[in-house]
């Protein structure tokens, strides 16, 4: 086989065979295909697309470029993947919740970049929490307590990292098959057999339109299914921050509050929904109603909170955080952000809210930026809520006082006040099941 022939075949819109894709990825991962051949191929994939069979072969090849975990457990290991948004702290409550119900959730999570937060950054707001467990310790912990959350390691899908760094500088990031294979190869390497996906759509998501989000969700489900996973995808609303906090320590505290029974927000609604489906797909529960009830019960009787405490402790974090969020960093200054007129909270440019939080230090503009775990917002109003001039819409938590002004200006652009209440998009926009 020659790289140029594989490139030319994709260039000519022909379907690549699994063995051609596997060979290309394996050779590239070993450095036996030049980066300038990889990028020509990536561009031809970007422009000509891939079939589900091709995307599936690509996912498998990327998974097999590194170490893939294997579990031997009484139920199917299950995970959740979210495409990322603002205020999305679901993973932190979800993993202990499903583990408390008897499921096994090995979760390899990511960091925040740009307007989006990352689960790892949120967990690191807990003093001592170690997201760098070796894979063997991670596997052991999942078997022992049912869940663990760590970061990407160099052993998992090295080809994905290599391809991503090339995609980033060649305009080939936004390609459905490349996005799908990147997501699923890493998830498959976790050793899971079931996966619930949360594809965000809206102003704070990577996919702004429902159409794009549905296309991604559909491709994820099709490919996941053809990889032998039990899969389900939800397209959910990201036109407002999820829950009442944005920022790392604030969100971790909110996640813990959920496990204590706080259940009024869309965040709680989504966590229960995803948890229930994970319990069904993993085979722990037989139907959705039973699963939902199991999840609620685990919260009610404190087992989910206790599981969270154990997970934190086992990963080196200060378990007192479960009882007292003040063990996490606190902002030196908290200032209300006030409504400039009477009316109703209108549509939010949620990406801008994420960017305002990033400006304060809650996120990163570039990968090397240092996070301030205390920075962020506590939302006091949501879209549709009535508001009076001078009334706080949110509280700004901030240590970098000199950034306050800039963040407030970004918020001015992000939040509108309308004379009449506008429509509020439903939380769940679409469910995509496997065929």
Binding residues for its own copies (CB under 8 A): 3-5, 7-8, 11, 34-44, 46-48, 166, 168-172
Is 75 noted as a catalytic residue in this protein?
no
Compute the least distance from the CB of residue 245 to its own copies, in Å: 34
Spatial CB neighbours of 284, under 8 Å, sequence gap ≥ 6: 75, 98, 101, 102, 103, 291, 294
Q: Residue 398 belongs to what H/E stretch? A: strand 392-398
Beta carbon nearer to its own copies, 51 or 170: 170
Compute the least distance from the CB of residue 320 to its own copies, in Å: 46
- Choose the catalytic residue: 186, 266, 352, 429: 186
Beta carbon nearer to its own copies, 42 or 255: 42
Is 167 noted as a catalytic residue in this protein?
yes
- Choose the catalytic residue: 93, 175, 181, 182: 182
Compute the least distance from the CB of residue 212 to its own copies, in Å: 15
Beta carbon nearer to its own copies, 42 or 141: 42
* DSSP string computed for 313-359: HHTT--GGGGT-GGGS---SEEEEEEPSSSEEEEEE-HHHHHHHHHH
Beta carbon nearer to its own copies, 167 or 200: 167
Is 186 noted as a catalytic residue in this protein?
yes
Compute the least distance from the CB of residue 156 to its own copies, in Å: 23
Edge to edge, the sheet with strand 194-201 lists 78-82, 194-201, 230-237, 428-433
Beta carbon nearer to its own copies, 33 or 145: 33
For residues 285 and 293, is the Cβ–Cβ distance under 8 A? Answer: no
Compute the least distance from the CB of residue 364 to its own copies, in Å: 19
For residues 416 and 224, is the Cβ–Cβ distance under 8 A? Answer: no
Beta carbon nearer to its own copies, 43 or 141: 43
Spatial CB neighbours of 61, under 8 Å, sequence gap ≥ 6: 21, 22, 24, 25, 26, 159
* DSSP string computed for 6-33: HHHHHHTTPPPPHHHHHHHHHHHHTT-S
Is 81 noted as a catalytic residue in this protein?
yes
- Choose the catalytic residue: 10, 167, 403, 429: 167
Compute the least distance from the CB of residue 15 to its own copies, in Å: 16
How far apart are the C-alpha atoms of 107 and 113, rounded to whole Å? 19
Is 122 noted as a catalytic residue in this protein?
no
- Choose the catalytic residue: 80, 81, 266, 364: 81
Which of 106, 164, 105, 92 is closest to 135 using CA atoms?
106
Indicate the Cα dihedral angle 368, 116, 107, 276, nearest 10°: 170
Annotated catalytic residues are: 81, 160, 167, 182, 186
């Amino acid at each position: 086989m020659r790289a140029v022939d594989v490139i030319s075949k994709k260039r000519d819109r022909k379907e690549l065979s699994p063995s051609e894709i596997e060979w290309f990825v394996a050779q590239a991962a070993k450095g036996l295909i030049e980066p300038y051949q990889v990028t020509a191929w990536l561009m031809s994939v970007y422009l000509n697309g891939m079939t589900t069979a091709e995307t599936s072969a690509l996912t498998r090849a990327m998974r097999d470029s590194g170490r893939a975990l294997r579990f031997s457990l009484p139920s199917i290991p299950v995970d959740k993947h979210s495409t990322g948004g603002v205020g999305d702290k679901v993973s932190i409550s979800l993993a202990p919740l499903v583990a408390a119900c008897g499921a096994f959730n090995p979760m390899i999570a990511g960091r925040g970049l740009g307007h989006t937060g990352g689960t790892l950054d949120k967990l690191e707001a807990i003093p001592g929490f170690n997201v760098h467990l070796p894979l063997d310790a991670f596997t052991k912990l999942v078997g022992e307590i049912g869940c663990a959350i760590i970061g990407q390691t160099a052993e998992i899908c090295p080809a994905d990292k290599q391809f991503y760094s090339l995609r980033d500088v060649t305009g080939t990031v936004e390609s459905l098959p490349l996005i799908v294979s990147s997501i699923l190869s890493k998830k498959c390497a976790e050793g899971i057999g079931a996966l619930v996906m949360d594809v965000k759509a809206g102003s704070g998501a990577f996919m702004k339109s429902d159409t794009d989000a549905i296309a991604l969700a559909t491709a994820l489900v099709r490919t996941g299914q053809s990889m032998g996973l039990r899969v389900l995808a939800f397209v959910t609303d990201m036109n407002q921050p999820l829950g009442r906090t944005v920022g790392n320590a604030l969100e971790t505290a909110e996640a813990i509050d959920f496990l204590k029974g706080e259940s009024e927000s869309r965040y709680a609604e989504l966590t229960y929904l995803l948890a229930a489906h994970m319990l069904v797909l993993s085979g722990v529960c037989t139907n959705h109603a039973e699963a939902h009830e199991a999840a609620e019960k685990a919260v009610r009787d404190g087992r989910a909170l206790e599981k969270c405490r154990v997970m934190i402790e086992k990963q080196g974090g200060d378990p007192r955080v479960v009882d007292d969020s003040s063990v996490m960093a606190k902002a030196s200054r908290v200032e209300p952000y006030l409504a400039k007129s009477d009316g109703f909270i209108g549509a939010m440019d949620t990406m801008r809210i994420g960017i305002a939080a990033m400006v304060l230090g809650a996120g990163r503009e570039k990968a090397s930026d240092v996070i301030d775990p205390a920075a962020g917002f506590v939302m006091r109003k949501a879209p549709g809520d009535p508001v009076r001039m001078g009334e706080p819409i949110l509280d700004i938590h901030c240590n970098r006082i000199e950034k306050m002004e800039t963040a407030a200006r970004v918020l001015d652009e992000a939040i509108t006040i309308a004379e009449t209440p506008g429509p509020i998009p439903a939380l769940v926009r679409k469910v995509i099941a496997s065929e």
